[in-house]
Chains A and B, each alone.
Chain A
Amino acid sequence: MAGSLLQDMPGQDTACGQALLTMEHVTKQFEESLILDDISLTIKKGEVIVLVGSSGCGKSTMLRCINALEPIQGGIIRLGEEQIDPKSRGLTSIRQKIGMVFQSYELFPHMTVLDNILLAPMKVQKRKKADITEEAVILLERVGLKEKTGCFPRQLSGGQKQRVAIVRALCMHPELMLFDEVTAALDPEMVREVLDVILALAAQGRTMLIVTHEMQFARAVADRVLFLDKGKIIENAPPEEFFENPKTERAKQFLNTFSFETVKGKDKQGK
């Protein structure tokens, strides 16, 4: 059973291709500013959506709203048929179906790697320790961290911690994975090892919503790229279209920030 995790698709409720996550006219306000302005989107099962935009424009907030870590002021968010609502009683069971990985890893410092992974499946899903351990060890091996089961987070590098965080989220068998700028705090050498894990998950057909600044990675992994600006989604296209021919001026400006003109040298014309 455990060995099938990375191949098998959880979430028997939703068939492949059907809408898994829907956001309808979602608005979020914080103090005076409107962070999310009438956001509507649908994520189908098996899709990988990458969310990009300038810093502070609400990408992380959107993920946090989906996971009900923040309240929304308007609109509806649904996972399958169920509405996601911070006040609802079924919230913990919905959250089990959504896995989230944070920029700051957020492993539990007082527990070993293995205990970090085992905690939620044992206490929340009431599964047997032996079963989860088997699954966890296999997953850790897949991400190259099998020998680290007994280590504490403080003994790991940033990239290793992030990979453990991903395994921890996966062991809950979520239908949807949320990645919140998970490589932003990592040294460049470690970014790759984490992105490789996410690419592998995408290859297996996992439904994922990824917020990232890594443009080449976004291009490789996404089915669709969403560009968020001033609280609105102003671009929603497959990666080739978005990166080669962005429709809006803002998107063009944004993409330009990732390319540098040479300062030295005579030829200053763009490519």
Chain B
Amino acid sequence: MSPEFITKYLPLYEKAAWLTVRIGFAGVLLSIVIGLLCAAILYYRIPVLTGLTAVYIELSRNTPLLVQLFFLYYGLPKIGVRTDAQACGMAGLAFLGGSYMAEAFRSGLEAVEKIQMESAQSLGMNRYQTMRYVILPQAFSISVPAFVANVIFLLKETSVFSAISLMDLMFTAKDLIGLYYKTTESLFLLVVFYLIILLPVSILGAALERRVRYARFGA
């Protein structure tokens, strides 16, 4: 294993890692927004939208991200939708992630007992106040483990971005292996950089889970 190779190509990996992180977090944020929206629709059983949301969730959870990306990146331009690779990456991640987040938030909401809502209503609170001060805080703390798992899952899914020509870590590794045959070094850097991205998220997530679990029990 040659250290010179490693130091020479480290910056390239770093750049690729930033790309992964940028698109990854953008996708995660978008999926949180979509997830909250869908969870609210399902929880309040809004007509028409509930059915559409259910269809969306089924479609998104039963197809791989790679296929979704191919469709977005290679397929959509054919009917006139202009896209660039980064937007596709974000859109694909948001499409996939939205349904997972919706599931996490929805089960959090439904885990809060109905009688808590009635208790708030008996005090004269309207729907918004009940949701904001009583239900959501409890639902949030219940959803945290699933939420953290989803974030890590989505960040790992970013590893398919090289399929749509985004110069992420996989792309860089494959490139270097192909060009210089320095397989060990390339793979080593690949693993290291993914660890750099994923380990902190995993540790922070576990810390968040612990903190929220403490604040929750009883009543």
Contacts and interface: CB of A to CB of B under 8 A. Distances in A.
- Chains A and B touch (C-beta atoms under 8 A apart): yes
Interface residues of B, number: 22
**Which among B125, B215, B216 has the highest number of chain A CB atoms within 10 Å?**
B125
Nearest to B129: A123
A2 interface: no
B218 A69 contact: no
Contact of B126 (A92, A102, A161, A172): A92
Given A102-B115, A108-B134, A124-B129, A95 B217 contact: no
B219 A100 contact: no
Given A109-B219, A110-B141, A123 B125 contact: yes
Given A110-B137, A110-B141, A123-B129, A100 B122 contact: yes
B116 interface: yes
A98 interface: yes
The A contact surface, by secondary structure, is: mixed
Contacts of A109: 138, 216-219
Given A124-B129, A153-B218, A153-B219, A106 B116 contact: yes
Interface string B138-162: 1001000000000000000000000
A69 B98 CA distance: 33
Interface in B197-216: 215-216
Contact of B119 (A93, A98, A106, A110): A106
B124 interface: yes
Contacts of B137: 110
Contact of A110 (B115, B125, B138): B138
Contacts of B133: 108, 119, 123
Task: Give the size category of A's interface with B.
Answer: 20 to 34
A110 B122 contact: no
Given A108-B134, A110-B141, A123-B133, A169 B217 contact: no
Interface of B: 115-116, 118-126, 129, 133-134, 137-138, 141, 215-219
Given A108-B134, A109-B216, 6 more contacts: A69-B121, A95-B124, A108-B116, A108-B219, A110-B138, A153-B218
20 contacts: A67-B122, A96-B124, A98-B122, A99-B122, A106-B118, A108-B134, A108-B219, A109-B217, A109-B219, A110-B137, A110-B216, A119-B133, A120-B120, A123-B125, A124-B123, A124-B125, A124-B129, A152-B218, A154-B219, A172-B123
